[in-house]
Amino acid sequence: MGTMRGNVLDPDCPSRVVLDRIAEKWTGLIVLALADGTLRFGELRERIGGVAPKVLTQSLRAMERDGLVVRRIYAEVPPRVEYTLTDLGRSLLEPLTAVQDWAERNVGRILAARAAAAG
């Protein structure tokens, strides 16, 4: 199954589920935040900024289900929970870093276009 190749332009192709995961608002930011290694939940939330704890939890659970992150729980008081990218999650770093670079290089042009369109 690991060698299956899809076509996201085909509405019946299951690869759209994968594209939905990658395009989900917080997935890319979580992957980029975990690029340097393991983080605790609070550290991850702080690094990303602007994400509600409930939303971050939901995104992390979905990413764990999809094999992009691993959650480790340590039996301490209080319990310590850490998140790390899997090999599959790390494989997203190259394309997401390219998108991040593009966004950061073109933010001025996009904002100028929006301002022009607003009149």
Give, in order, the Cα–Cα distances in Å from 30 to each of 9, 22, 93, 102. Answer: 26, 11, 11, 18
Number of domains into which the chain is organized: 1
10's tokens: 């085909």
At 53 the pLDDT is: 95
* pLDDT (tens digit per residue) in 56-77: 999 999 999 999 999 999 988 8
Q: Output the pTM of the full model.
A: 0.88
Q: Which domain holds residue 82?
A: 15-118
Residue 55 belongs to some domain of the structure = yes
Q: Is 23 within the bounds of a domain? A: yes
The CATH code of the domain that includes 44 is 1.10.10.10
Query: How do residues 19-53 score in pLDDT, each as one tens digit?
Result: 889 989 999 999 999 999 999 999 999 999 999 99
The two three-digit tokens of residue 59, written as one number: 């995104």
